[in-house]
Amino acid sequence: MSDDTEKRIIDLEIRYTEQSALLDELNSELYCANETIGVLTRRVVRLEKMVMDILNQEELPPNEKPPHY
């Protein structure tokens, strides 16, 4: 194998290693982001239910003008 070919193979191996490490890092970040989205989605659903429960419990005042009108 010539020196040029060997250098190209080494460069490709280095690039592959760097790309593999970057892919692992991105995968980890994506997993964490997905977990956070899941937690936030459950919180929003719970808050929506709480708001609906509060709205259903309280009688809303009629649409009348405030006393200062």
Confidence class of residue 55 from pLDDT cuts 50, 70 and 90? confident
Q: Is residue 69 part of a domain?
A: no
- Within-domain flag for 40: yes
Does residue 20 lie in a domain region?
yes
Give the pLDDT confidence score for residue 57 in this predicted structure.
84
pLDDT of res. 23: 98
pLDDT tens string 2-51? 899 999 999 999 999 999 999 999 999 999 999 999 999 999 999 999 99
* Residue range of the domain that includes 29: 1-56
Total number of domains in the chain: 1
User: Which residues fall within 8 angstroms of residue 1, CB to CB, at 6 or more apart?
Assistant: 9
pLDDT at 36: 98
Measure the CA–CA gap between 68 and 5, rounded to whole angstroms: 89
Any domain includes 5: yes
